[in-house]
Amino acid sequence: MNDSQKKDKQLEDNENGASQNETLQNASRPKKFDFDLIVLGSGPGGEGAAMQAAKGGMRVAIAERYTQIGGGCTHWGTIPSKALRYCITSTMKALQNPTFRQMGVNVSPTLEQLRQGTQTIIGKQVSMRQSFYERNGVPVLRGEARFLDKQTISVDGCEPLRAKHFVIATGSRPFHPDGVDFNHPRIFDSDSVLMLKERPQSMAVYGAGVIGTEYASMFRNLGIKVNLVNTREKLLEFLDDEITDALSYHLRDQGVIIRHNETMRRVEGCEDGVVLHLESGKRVKTDVFLWANGRTGNTDKLGLDNIPLEANSRGQIEVDEQFQTSVPHIYAVGDVIGFPSLASAAYTQGRAAAMHMLGQVDGNLRVDDIPTGIYTSPEISSVGKTERELTAAKVPYEVGHSLFRSLARAQITGETTGMLKILFHRDTLEILGVHCFGVNASEIIHIGQAVMNQPNGRNTLEYFTETTFNYPTMAEAYRVAALNGMNRLF
């Protein structure tokens, strides 16, 4: 080998050595991020975060353990329960119509018949939401996601994926206390009750929160005898007292038996029914039993101890006002963080978390301005302060009322049960709270919400007194309530 060949060989060896050293150095470096954001759960919270982040230019993926996207909201909670509620309400209302009675129409639909349209609605929801991910280039990772460390997850044990940010939006499931046999054919939780095959004659509902009162109202509309057992002094204590009293009155008027301040001792499943034993010594026997007392966050399989991040006894994760956990690049939204546990709130929270990641810290979304929507019969919806809160804060407020029975539209439709009340500052006339009980309350409330959020000077009672409303409409209740409130001033 001549000198020139030796020199070339030495240069080649040096290059190969440098290449090998570079390979070893790259192997020792952390792997580059696969995504800017990985969202765990495709319910409303996960969807809100994923869509907002994707539109903001982030590389996003979403992990979903169920065979279809949409989360509990689409498959076991909001959509199927509200679809069934609508079917029950509309069907029973039609069957009670005097015209049908005169024609000799006297049928009793089964629960299976009433449920038939639910799967069609779920299918439409899944198809629509799937298109959102496809249009925005967000891959759906199928399987159970688990944290391996602060920046890495594995989906069903497959190859690890790294991301700069994570959003935990895994939702919740019904809380199952020890001593209640949910495998018994007559004992249900708020998910499994939707698959009830035969219509029972009687039902005990333990837990009178939002879910319990909704199901009590729904099944009572089917003619089922309902015992609603409440562990507190009043129904839905977070609502305005007048609305709570109205709900209690109308549930009892419909035939629901309400038992306040009661605590379960044990539940005994029998062949011919279920016996609920209460600490007070009372015993309630019904055909079926529905446990509706609390939910548990789906965090037990997330590998939180590898982050480390700790959930509370109900599986819920604590977050700050930007929905960040104690690990700053990991966010949590929706039912997994607890109250208010609403689909609407979860979507807003998901968007807010994504906007915070994108650097839009201030004024991202009004997460404090979330209306309640409770689908009892009649509906309940509210936004803003209650009378109890304003009294405690010593705010000089006044009340404007409108009873639905005085509205022409309610008289035409026969939906005269209900009321709208507006709370306003008696000096500035600023709208402080709006509370509605009656048909379409969850729709009606948004008019008040919109006015409340106008700039100072435009968010007053005068908007309703000076605006022309279509006639006859339910929205006219705002004008009636505003004039009623004005008449109280002196």
Q: What is the pLDDT of residues 26-37, one digit of tens each?
A: 444 455 899 999
Residue 101 belongs to some domain of the structure = yes
pLDDT of residue 11: 47
Q: Do 140 and 219 share a domain, yes or no?
A: no
Q: Do 313 and 287 share a domain, yes or no?
A: no
Q: Which domain holds residue 49?
A: 35-174+296-357
pLDDT at 283 over 90: yes
Q: What is d(CA 357, CA 322) in angstroms, rounded to the nearest whole number?
A: 9
- Would you list which residues are annotated within the binding site? 82, 170-172, 207-214, 294, 335
- Would you list which residues are annotated within the binding site for FAD? 82, 170-172, 335
pLDDT of residue 363: 55
Give the residue-averaged pLDDT of 201-214.
Answer: 97
399-448 pLDDT per residue, tens: 999 999 999 999 999 999 999 999 999 999 999 999 999 999 999 999 99
pLDDT exceeding 90 applies to what percent of the chain?
82
For tokens 């996003």, the residue is 60
69-86 pLDDT per residue, tens: 999 999 999 999 999 999
What does the mean pLDDT of the chain come to? 91
Q: What is d(CA 418, CA 438) in angstroms, rounded to the nearest whole number?
A: 4
Q: Which residues, including other chains, have CB under 8 Å from residue 88's CB and lie 6 or more apart?
A: 114, 218, 221, 222
- Would you list which residues are annotated within the binding site for NAD(+)? 207-214, 294
Q: What is d(CA 208, CA 233) in angstroms, rounded to the nearest whole number?
A: 10
Question: Comparing 102-106, 136-140, 145-149, 352-356, which segment has the lowest mean pLDDT?
Answer: 102-106
**Type of residue found at 235:** L
pLDDT of residue 367: 66
What is the CATH number for 410? 3.30.390.30
Q: Do 194 and 285 share a domain, yes or no?
A: yes
136-175 pLDDT per residue, tens: 999 999 999 999 999 999 999 889 999 999 999 999 999 9
Residue 25 belongs to some domain of the structure = no
Complete edge-to-edge strand list for the sheet that includes strand 202-206? 187-189, 288-291, 202-206, 225-229, 257-259
Asked if 483 and 463 touch (Cβ cutoff 8 Å), the reply is: no
From the number of C-beta atoms within 10 Å of its C-beta (0-12, 13-18, 19+), residue 183 rates as exposed
pLDDT at 126 over 60: yes
pLDDT at 23 over 70: no
pLDDT of residue 26: 42
**How many other CB atoms are found less than 10 A from the CB of residue 470?**
9
- The domain total for the chain is 3
pLDDT exceeding 70 applies to what percent of the chain?
91
pLDDT of residue 92: 84
Asked if 162 and 151 touch (Cβ cutoff 8 Å), the reply is: yes
Q: What is d(CA 478, CA 484) in angstroms, rounded to the nearest whole number?
A: 10
pLDDT at 14 over 90: no
Model pTM?
0.88
Q: Which of 243, 274, 293 is the last residue of a domain?
A: 293
Q: Do 300 and 283 share a domain, yes or no?
A: no
Instruction: Tell which wins on pLDDT, 20 or 229.
Output: 229
Residue 257 belongs to some domain of the structure = yes
Asked if 72 and 65 touch (Cβ cutoff 8 Å), the reply is: no
